[in-house]
Amino acid sequence: MLKSLINKIEELYVFNISQFFWHIFVALAAIGIVGGVLLVFWGIIPAFKSSVTKEEYPPMVTVTADELKAAFAPAKRTEREAQWQVPTQQAVAPPVSAEASPEEIAYRASLDEMQRLIPPAKYSWGAEGFYEYPYGYQYPQYARWVQRSPAVLDRLESAFSQAGITTFSEKKQLLDTHIVVVRQFKEEARLPVWKALITWNGRSLSQAISNAKLLGTFVPKFSADRSEYVTKLATFGDKNPNDGYALVEYIGKVIEKFPQEKRNDALAALINAYHRYFNNRVREQIEITDSFFPMLTSFSNDQAVKALQTYYQLASEKNYERSQTIAAIEARYRAELMRAQAEYEAARAKKASWRLNGLYGIVGGIVVVATIALVLVLLSIQRYVRQINERLNTTASATVNQ
């Protein structure tokens, strides 16, 4: 039955169709293969992302020295709030175990150096907090410890984890950077400085080291006796991960323009102005501050900080529309970046589709050519076998007749 069906297909369709038809069919399949190859190559070429250019900011509206003097008022004296110490718990670095690796031993040696600079017996490394008496002081047995701040070593380990620091060699590298900064201060100021360095840690080892080195550059510009300015800078940098480093770096460059006795006040004015007028716009604050310094010599040392504060207020009022324009420019720039990214992703998806279609074309063309060739070969074999049988039968008949 199958043999009869094959013979019928062969006689009615295959060999009754001209060879030119099969050539055309194979040629079309070959064109499909070539087209598929071209699509694959085109899909392999990376998609291009269109560039986005930010618009120029409008010029700043300047504040003249006369305007500043007219609006200037003497600074009011502010009283420093009293500071009080809460009870602390003592904590020291644990001893080195006998199975410690050379890297751990080296790290412990750096910890020992820090303990020499900041003796735990004199300056508490422990957690800070206070005892709470829920039933009154007459029942001390029910007192409980309320922790306000963890121990220094716990904070240090937390900083290591935040920065992704896992090896003892990396820990030693950061701790040695802290030691270089801490060593510049007098002994009584070192522990707050170290806590400030731990506070502004960063998200990587390199960032943490850069932050610590930047804070260290402020020591000759301020004082080695006090630590408040380091704490203030570190706190600001930690709470402002986007603009913190840029503004702290800028403050380090310009703080010496103020007299030594007014630098703490100037530091506070620069940081407060960021929060009040320039939140997330540190570039604008730097531009406005730079325009103030040429007129700083018009004021006495006692008036310098107040003049800066007044200048910020006037400049902010006069540049309100400019700030709105800058905000609009930034919004358009971010929108263009998002549009360019979306177009890029769409182009990448289209390239992937072309690659897939090209592979389909290549595979389909090869399958068609292979199928036609296989069918023709099989049918040719069938035809030759039939011809051989016919000849054998003819020969056998002739022999019998003889």
pLDDT at 160: 93
pLDDT for 170: 94
pLDDT value of residue 237: 95
pLDDT at 343: 82
- Per-residue model confidence (pLDDT) at position 125: 87
The predicted pLDDT at position 401 comes to 65
The whole-number pLDDT of residue 356 equals 80
Using a cut of 0.75, tell me whether the model's pTM lies above it: no
What pLDDT, on the 0 to 100 scale, is given for residue 87?
47
Question: Residue 14 has what pLDDT?
Answer: 54
Reading the chain (402 residues) residue by residue, the pLDDT tens digits are: 555 665 555 555 555 555 556 667 667 777 777 777 777 777 777 776 777 787 877 777 777 777 777 776 554 444 433 333 444 445 555 666 657 788 999 999 999 999 999 999 898 888 777 778 887 778 777 788 777 778 899 999 999 999 999 999 999 999 999 999 999 999 999 999 999 999 998 889 999 999 999 999 999 999 999 999 999 999 999 999 989 999 999 999 999 999 999 999 999 999 999 999 988 889 889 999 999 999 988 888 889 999 999 999 888 888 777 778 877 888 888 888 888 888 888 888 887 887 787 787 778 778 777 777 776 676 667 667 667 777 777 777 777 666
CA pair distance 62, 288, nearest whole angstrom: 8
Q: What is the pLDDT of residue 319?
A: 74
- Give pLDDT, residue 91: 55
